[in-house]
Amino acid sequence: MKSKDSRMFRTEWEFLRWLGGLAKLNDRCVRLGIGDDAALVHIGESRELVLTTDLSIEGVHFTGRIHSARSVGHRALARALSDIAAMGATPRFALVSLAITKHTTRRWLEEFYAGMESLARRFGVSLVGGDTAVVPRSVSVDAIAVGEIARGKAMRRSGAGPGDLIYVSGRLGMSALGLGMLKSRRPPGSSIAAGRQLSSEAIQAHLFPEPRCGLGRYLAERRLASAMMDISDGLSSDLARLCEASAVGARIEAALIPAPEIHSRGKSLALALNGGEDYELLFTVSPSKASRLPGRFQGLPIHRLGEIRRNRKLILIDENGKENVLRPSGFDHFRKE
Amino acid sequence: MKSKDSRMFRTEWEFLRWLGGLAKLNDRCVRLGIGDDAALVHIGESRELVLTTDLSIEGVHFTGRIHSARSVGHRALARALSDIAAMGATPRFALVSLAITKHTTRRWLEEFYAGMESLARRFGVSLVGGDTAVVPRSVSVDAIAVGEIARGKAMRRSGAGPGDLIYVSGRLGMSALGLGMLKSRRPPGSSIAAGRQLSSEAIQAHLFPEPRCGLGRYLAERRLASAMMDISDGLSSDLARLCEASAVGARIEAALIPAPEIHSRGKSLALALNGGEDYELLFTVSPSKASRLPGRFQGLPIHRLGEIRRNRKLILIDENGKENVLRPSGFDHFRKE
C-alpha cells in the first residue's frame, strides 16, 4: 500500500488510476469499478437492496490531532456498514466521496484508503467508486454502502410491540470514553493493569469501531428481532427513535446497561446513555422468542436492558429502583449548544 | 413546499420528519425510505445496478452569490443523473448527504430540496435517503444515484475502436458561457434579441443542466454506441479519458464542434473544448451503424466531431485545416493553478 513516491498526485486521473489499482475487482458481481462514469454491479435475484450514506467531516466527526488517516477511513466506512448491519443485511459494495485540502498528503490518502480497504476486505465489501474534490479547508468523507437481503427479511425500527424485550450488543459508552482519553491524553487508571486494558479497549472502540453485521444478519435471518437499529448518537436518543418509529414507549433499568467499568458509576452511565458512536445494535425481541436468543454471538455479549411499553414515555429505573424520565441527550447536529 | 413557519429545524429528527414527508414513497419498489437506518429498494430481476456519487461543494462547485438553493439542489442531482445517462441506464433512486452551516436557513433547505425533488420527479427518481451534518463553513452536498440496466447493456468508456465516429449531444461550452455571464453580470450582446436569447439559454444551461438520460438509454438499448461518457470537465479532458480507456486516439475538427454563437470564434471554441459542466453525452459509433443514428433525439441535436484513430494522439484540426495536438485543459481538482 505504501509507495516509495511520496509526491502528491498531479492530476485527478493519476489519482483515480492509483485508486482503481488499489480496489481490485476480484468480486465477480462487480462488472465495472473505479474509472468509468459509474460503477456497475449485480445483485442476486429476489433480493432487496439496502442503501445508506454517512458523512464524516473534519472538525465534526474527526480531527487530525486525534484520528489517524487510517482511523478516519475505517470509521467512515464502519458507520455505513453499521447501518447495513442494523437492517440485518449483507454489505456488498461501497463508494466513497472524498473532499481533501491542498495540504492533504499522498501518505494521508494512502493510509485513509488502507483503513477503509482493510475493513472492506474483512466484510467482503468491494469499493467500486466515488468522487473527489479539493476544497479550501476541512477534509470531508461521504461513505456509501450497498447491501443485499432476501425479500421481506429486512429489519426496521418500526416493529417493536408492547411487551417486547430490549437488547443491546457489546458495551456502550466505550467509544466516548476512548475519545475522552484521546483528548486528555491521560488515560484514567493507566497505572493499574485493569485500567490499561480498559484504556486500550476504549481507544480501539473509538478509533476502529466494529460494525455488527454478523449479529444483524443472524437476527434478521432467524426473524428473532421485531425491531432493530444501530446506536450512533447514544442509547437515550436512539432508543427514543426506535420507540417513536414503533409508536411505543420503553422502560429500561440502569443496572442492566453494560457501561464502561470506571470508578464513577454516574459518569459511566452517562457515557453509555449519551456517549454515542457505539455502533452496537439495539433491538427488540418478543418474549416468546427470547429463549432462542444467545447470551453471546461469536464472543459478542448481548444484554437485556428492559422492555417495550404501550405508554409512549421513556423510563429509566435508577439503581435505587426510582423511575425517571429518560430524555434523548445523545448527539444532534441541529441542536443549539 | 413553502412553509409559513420560517424557523430552522430544532433537531435533526424534526428535519428528517419534514424530509420524509417531502419525499413521498409513491414508488412501489421503495420498501423503506428516509427515517430508518438505510433505504430498502428492489430492482427487477436480471438487471444490473449502476452506482454513482458526485460532490458539490460551496466555493468549488457553486457559490451563494451565483447559485440559488434551487440551482444547487438541481445541479447536485443532475451531475449524478448524468453519470447514469452516460452508462445508458435508467435512474431509479437517489440519496443525498448534506453538510450545512449554522447560517443555512430553513428557506434555503426548502428550495434546495425543491430543486432536487423537481428534477428527480421528472426523471422518475425516488429520493430514498441521505445523511446530514452541521459544519463550521461551506455547505457541501454528495448526491448518490442508483440506476438499473439490462444485463450486459451498460455503456462504457472503453469500447471505442479505430474508425468509429465521434459524436456529441447538444451544444458545448454553454454552461461555462452562462457562468461567465453570471459572474460579470453583464451578458454580452444583451441589447440585441439574439444575444438575449443566447444569454438566457447559457444561464439556464449553467444553473439547470439537463441530464441526457433519454438519449443515453436510446443508444445503449439499440447498441448504437461503442463507447460513451458524459462531459463534465470539458471536451478536451473527457475525450482524452475516453481515448485512454479505449487505448485509442482521436482526430476531431474544430469546424464541427457545436460551440456557443458569440462574436469571438476563438473564445467560443475554448469554451466548448475546456469549459466543462456541459453534461452532454460524448459517444462513438462504428461506421456501419452511423446511418441508424438520428440527427436529433427528441429535439436534442447530435453532432459528429471526427473519428477515432489507432494512433493514440489527440488531434484537433483547426478551421484552416491545420493539425494541432489537443491537450486536456478542462477542469481538474488536483492540478496546481
Question: How far, in whole angstroms, is CA B170 from its chain's centroid?
Answer: 12
Cβ contact, residue pair B31, A154, below 8 Å = yes
pLDDT at A191: 44
**If pLDDT is split at 50, 70 and 90, which confidence band does A96 have?**
very high
pLDDT at A132: 87
In the structure grid, which three cell numbers stand for residue A112, read together?
Answer: 485513509
* Burial class of residue A330 (count of CB atoms within 10 Å of its CB; 0-12, 13-18, 19+): buried
Contact predicate A144/B144, CB 8 Å: yes
Phi (first) and psi of residue B212, to 5 degrees: -95, 50
pLDDT at B21: 65
Cβ contact, residue pair B59, A229, below 8 Å = no
Contact predicate A8/A110, CB 8 Å: no
B91 to chain A: which residues are within 8 Å by CB? none
Closest CB from B49, B53, B332 relative to A12: B332
Nearest Cα residue to A212 out of A274, A155, A273, A152: A155
pLDDT at B90: 94
B128 to chain A: which residues are within 8 Å by CB? 51
**If pLDDT is split at 50, 70 and 90, which confidence band does A32 have?**
low
Cβ contact, residue pair A51, B245, below 8 Å = no
Give the H/E segment covering residue B206.
helix B193-207
pLDDT at B330: 79
pLDDT at A252: 98
B46 to chain A: which residues are within 8 Å by CB? 45
High-pLDDT (> 90) share of chain A, %: 66
Q: What confidence tens digit (pLDDT) does each residue in A277-287 have? A: 999 999 999 99
Closest CB from A31, A38, A45 relative to B84: A38
Minimal CA separation from A39 to chain B, in Å:
5
Check whether A16 has a pLDDT greater than 50: yes
Check whether A2 has a pLDDT greater than 50: no
B130 to chain A: which residues are within 8 Å by CB? 53
pLDDT at B35: 59
B51 to chain A: which residues are within 8 Å by CB? 38-41, 93, 95, 128-129, 144, 146
Q: What confidence tens digit (pLDDT) does each residue in A136-186 have? A: 889 999 999 999 998 888 999 999 999 999 999 999 999 999 999 999 876
- What is the maximum alpha-carbon separation in chain B? 64
Phi-psi region of A7 (alpha: psi -120 to 50; beta: other; left: phi over 0): beta
Distance from C-alpha of A314 to C-alpha of A272, rounded to nearest angstrom = 16
Contact predicate B170/B178, CB 8 Å: no
pLDDT at B126: 87
CB contact set of A273 (below 8 Å; sequence gap of 6+): A172, A173, A234, A235, A236, A257, A316, A326, A329, A330
Hey, what amino acid is at B313?
K
Cβ contact, residue pair B333, A136, below 8 Å = no
Cβ contact, residue pair B15, A334, below 8 Å = yes
In the three-class reduction of DSSP (H, G, I as helix; E, B as strand; rest coil), residue B242 is classed as helix
Mean pLDDT score across all residues of chain A: 88
**If pLDDT is split at 50, 70 and 90, which confidence band does A6 have?**
low
Distance from C-alpha of A201 to C-alpha of A220, rounded to nearest angstrom = 28
Distance from C-alpha of B110 to C-alpha of B106, rounded to nearest angstrom = 6
pLDDT at B3: 44
CB contact set of B140 (below 8 Å; sequence gap of 6+): A99, A135, A140, B55, B56, B57, B58, B98, B99
Q: State the best of A157, A334, A337 to mutate against chain B, taking most chain B CBs within 10 Å.
A: A334
Q: What confidence tens digit (pLDDT) does each residue in A218-272 have? A: 999 999 999 999 999 999 999 999 999 999 999 999 999 999 999 899 999 999 9
Distance from C-alpha of A75 to C-alpha of A67, rounded to nearest angstrom = 10
pLDDT at A203: 95
For residues A24-62, one letter each, b for 16 or more C-beta atoms within 10 angstroms of the residue's C-beta and e for the rest, the string is: ebebebbbbbbbbbbbbbbbeeebbbbbbbbbbbbebbb
A57 to chain B: which residues are within 8 Å by CB? 99, 133, 135
Closest CB from B37, B54, B137 relative to A229: B37
pLDDT at A26: 55
Distance from C-alpha of A29 to C-alpha of A43, rounded to nearest angstrom = 7
Task: Provide the sign of the torsion angle of the four alpha carbons A282, A287, A292, A295, taken in this order.
Answer: positive
Phi (first) and psi of residue A15, to 5 degrees: -65, -45
What is chain B's pLDDT, residue by residue, as a tens digit (337 residues)? 344 445 676 776 676 666 666 555 555 666 665 656 767 767 767 788 899 999 999 999 999 999 999 999 999 999 999 999 999 999 999 999 999 998 999 889 989 999 999 999 999 998 888 888 889 889 999 999 999 998 888 999 999 999 999 999 999 999 999 999 999 876 555 444 458 889 999 999 999 999 999 999 999 999 999 999 999 999 999 999 999 999 999 999 999 999 999 989 999 999 999 999 999 999 999 999 999 999 999 999 999 999 999 999 999 999 999 999 999 887 776 665 4
Closest CB from B40, B128, B144 relative to A154: B40
Question: How far, in whole angstroms, is CA B186 from its chain's centroid?
Answer: 26
State how far the alpha carbon of A312 is from the alpha carbons of A41, A309, A317, A326, A335, in Å: 43, 7, 16, 12, 23
